[in-house]
Amino acid sequence: MAIELMNEKSNNENILEVSNLKKYYPLSKIAVGKRRAYVKAVDDVSFSIKTGTTMGLVGESGCGKTTVGRTILRLHDVTSGQVIFNGRDLAKVPSRELRKMRPQMQMIFQDPYSSLSPRLPIGEIIGEAVREHNIVPKSQYRAYILKVMKDCGLQPQYFYRYPHEFSGGQRQRISIARAVALKPKFIICDEPLSALDVSIQAQIINLMKDLQEQYQYTYLFISHDLSVVEYLSDTIGVMYLGSMVEMGDKKKIFTNPMHPYTKALLSAVPKSNPDEKMNRIILEGDIPSPVNPPSGCKFRTRCPHAMPVCAEKAPILKEYDDGHKTACHLYSQD
């Protein structure tokens, strides 16, 4: 029987639907007579991803994008909200069944070295969960792992080598191989390039693109690097202090950003034409605390366009142009 990595293609257009997702962490110390305070890491976030596409999730560090990824995968409990994966509400899936579904949802981490066990050879790192979840019959196991390694640009002789014998880029290839060996439908990539040299980044991006083309993976690509996100993504979500402030098709976000925060982020992306002038928008001040965010619009303390209404009313994320949404009082909120 031919060894095939190809997924059963989902009939649902959206493989993932996230609605009103919240993840709050209670603070341990509370003063007598005061209400318990919470770090609102993810605060009412909604989005969906079409099967076989990539959504880029961007924002400064601490904006909650990694927590969104981990909460979707149920690595953290959800405070409230709904995550529908492949038509199933994950909160309602019994834990035994969820365990069986795990291979379909994988994650690639930022630091490939700390996510790989130093005591296991590469073949075992990639194959451990393949055996545990019976992804292929026993008789095909070794050939299957070698096929996955080949797909990810890893030589067969690496099978018995250990993580410390590899460069950062090769280690990230091993992490990717470990994820795709489980025949996932959906992969969350959490800053997978940020620990790598720029030249190696391009190789890993190309690998991820090739694998997606071949096997129809759906990616949620979490990054602070907008130029990488532009290259890889079909749609983009911009987060600030736990909330989604802008979302839409990549082209629309890059050619017509609406939210002042998105405009500031894009102004920092280097231009491909060195003669083109960069009109960098420098944001004043630090990101406020997620324990005690500003009233109204959370961005108002750093926004160059803040108005009195911005302190009084939180803007709602509203659609303005064919899927292009933003949350800002500069646009009609009716």
Binding residues for ligand SF4, per CB under 6 A?
Answer: 259-260, 297, 299-300, 303, 305-307, 310, 315, 328-330
Tokens read off for 107: 């994650």
Q: Which is nearer to ligand SF4, 259 or 325 (CB)?
A: 259
Q: Which is nearer to ligand SF4, 129 or 314 (CB)?
A: 314
Q: Which is nearer to ligand SF4, 213 or 319 (CB)?
A: 319
Smallest gap from Cβ 285 to ligand SF4, in A, equals 12
Smallest gap from Cβ 310 to ligand SF4, in A, equals 3
Smallest gap from Cβ 297 to ligand SF4, in A, equals 3
Q: Which is nearer to ligand SF4, 196 or 310 (CB)?
A: 310
Tokens read off for 49: 């991803």
Q: Which is nearer to ligand SF4, 189 or 306 (CB)?
A: 306
Smallest gap from Cβ 329 to ligand SF4, in A, equals 4
Smallest gap from Cβ 236 to ligand SF4, in A, equals 17
Tokens read off for 159: 């099978």
